[in-house]
Structures are given as C-alpha cells and as structure tokens.
Amino acid sequence: MFVELNNLLNTAPDRAEQGKLTLLCDAKTDGSFLVHHFLSFYLKGVSLTMARERGQLVFLEGLKSAVDVVFQAQKEPHPLQFLREANAGNLKPLFEFVREALKPVDSGEARWTYPVLLVDDLSVLLSLGMGAVAVLDFIHYCRATVCWELKGNMVVLVHDSGDAEDEENDILLNGLSHQSHLILRAEGLATGFCRDVHGQLRILWRRPSQPAVHRDQSFTYQYKIQDKSVSFFAKGMSPAVL
C-alpha cells in the first residue's frame, strides 16, 4: 500500500467508501503496482498467505484453472468453462463462482466486513475470445452483487493496448469507465523511458453521491516506482530535476 497514493485519493483503509467500483488502466506501461496497492490496501496488516488460509482471501488462479478446464474432464460447471465451449455466450459460470465465494462461511469466527473483488485483468478475457459486452455483463452482475447487495468494493484492471483497431477493448474500457466511481490511468511518458520518472497517473472521480460535490474532478501526477513505495509529484516537478 502506497501512503502517498492514499493521500492523493484522500482515503485510508479505516475510512474507505463502500459500494464503489475502481477502474485501473495502464497504457504503454505496467499498471500492476496499482493492483498491488489495492490488494495491500484492503488486506492491511494481514499476510496474503495467512489470509488465504483463513478463507479471508479467495484466489482464482486463472492460468492454472485454464489448464484444468482444458485438459481435465469436468463434472461440475467450471468458472472458466467458456474455454471449452465453441460459442460461449456469457460468463455466467464465472459470476456464479464469484457469488459463491462471497457467501459467508460459518466457521464460528467473526464474520468479515464488506467484501472486495479484485480482477487482474479483464483484458485477458477478451484475448480468450469473450466479447466486450459479455465481459461488461459479467462486471455488471458482479457490481450488482458486490457493490449494491453486499456494499463491498470492486477493483478491476484493463489494459489499453493503444491499438486503434482493437474495438472490443475500446468498448470494454469505455463501458467500464462509465460504470466506475474512480478511474486510475497509468501511462508511459510520451517522450519514452526516463530513469527518474516512470510514468504519469491520471485520476478521475466520477459519480459522486451529490452532483455538486466540491471535489476537483481530475488530476494528473507523475510517479517514480521505488523498492517499496511509489512517489508522486506534479508534472515536471520530479526531485531529480529540481
């Protein structure tokens, strides 16, 4: 979790808003640091291994599951069974896996607080042959369950390939943008690689609860990824050049 990013977003683990969809997007750069930020944000103070053992973290490993569904006989519906079907129309089995994973487990321990669904990344589903609208439908149902019904949060990552011919990715990206409350877009610098500035981050808040909230709509910062943190600064204000 990057404290500076929390400050920019005016949020903290103990006062995060609920029922929100956050869209992460990367273009000409690697936005995985944003995924890591939100993963540690929502699991603050808990190791991933321990969280998994306790059932607090449910992890669908897409690559491994894809191998299972393709090379092993399946008796029950599989979340990724669209890989076996010639004309898979929707991602309903994947949604049902998500809904099942969110059901509270009666283990005698204290129930968890609101759930979080983190998807890394949706562009893979397009690459595997699903249509953009099918992916949007999957996210719609997840949003209805996670954000509306369970008052939880969602974080999804989509890559922007920059390919003008990739219409499906455009529809997915723009469709999700309209559904999102917060958009974080990491972009590589137009001028190419720089040792001290690794990219720029655009932040756009959408769908405030009140239309005239006095909150600036969008910001752009540049950033540098370090060993265990990310530093953010105004454009052209890198410490290396000051």
Partner 1 sequence: MTPSEGARAGTGRELEMLDSLLALGGLVLLRDSVEWEGRSLLKALVKKSALCGEQVHILGCEVSEEEFREGFDSDINNRLVYHDFFRDPLNWSKTEEAFPGGPLGALRAMCKRTDPVPVTIALDSLSWLLLRLPCTTLCQVLHAVSHQDSCPGDSSSVGKVSVLGLLHEELHGPGPVGALSSLAQTEVTLGGTMGQASAHILCRRPRQRPTDQTQWFSILPDFSLDLQEGPSVESQPYSDPHIPPVSKNAKARTRKCSLVSGHGRENKSCRGWGWGQGF
Q: Which residues bind partner 1 (CB under 8 A)?
A: 90, 92, 95, 131, 133, 136-137, 140-141, 144, 148, 164, 167, 170-171, 173-175, 177-179, 183, 190-191, 202, 204, 206-207, 209-212, 216-220, 235
Provide the terminal-to-terminal Cα distance of the chain, rounded to the nearest Å: 27
Closer by beta carbon to partner 1, 57 or else 136: 136
Q: How far is the CB of 83 from partner 1 (least distance, A)?
A: 20
Q: DSSP 3-state assignment of 110?
A: coil
Closest to partner 1 by CB, 45 or 236:
236
Label the pairing between strands 230-233 and 218-225.
antiparallel
In the complex, the smallest distance separating the C-beta of residue 5 from partner 1, rounded to whole angstroms, is 18
24 CB neighbour count, 10 Å cutoff: 28
Specify whether the CB–CB gap between 193 and 206 falls below 8 A. Answer: no
Residue with smaller CB distance to partner 1, 84 or 151: 151
**Cα–Cα distance between 153 and 151 in angstroms, integer?**
7
Which is nearer to partner 1, 17 or 53 (by Cβ)? 17
Q: How far is CA 74 from the centre of its chain?
A: 29
Instruction: Please state the closest distance from residue 80 (CB atom) to partner 1, in A.
Output: 17
Q: How far is the CB of 55 from partner 1 (least distance, A)?
A: 26
Cα separation, 176 vs 128, whole angstroms: 19
